[in-house]
Amino acid sequence: MRNVTLHDVHVLARLADLKEDLYQQTLLVTALIALLTEKGILREGELHQTCQQLEQELMAELPALRPDHPGAWDDQNTYRAT
């Protein structure tokens, strides 16, 4: 078993901070969705549908956004930046 270094402690503390941040953001988004749905501004399932659509659009653009993605390079091994 290896010794735990001060760096390890800092990394674990940062991870705990990130988990807390994620929890707080998730709580906020959940509350916003509930309020918008309750007020009739957002229909049930509408947000999920919009998220799926945005994800599909993002995945279609992924090669242009990530140079390490295989689809970002053409047959002449040239990067296809948009």
- Check whether residue 70 and residue 35 sit in a common domain: no
Instruction: Encode pLDDT of 35-82 as tens digits.
Output: 999 999 999 889 889 999 998 888 887 766 666 666 555 666 554 554
- Check whether residue 2 and residue 34 sit in a common domain: yes
Cβ partners under 8 Å of residue 47, min gap 6? 33
- Check whether residue 81 and residue 50 sit in a common domain: yes
> What's the pLDDT score for residue 60?
81
Instruction: State CA 82 to chain mean position distance.
Output: 22
Q: Domain range spanning residue 72? A: 45-82
Q: Give how many domains the chain has, as a whole number.
A: 2
Interatomic CA distance for residues 60 and 82, integer angstroms: 12
Q: What is the pTM of this model?
A: 0.59
> What's the pLDDT score for residue 45?
87
- Check whether residue 29 and residue 7 sit in a common domain: yes
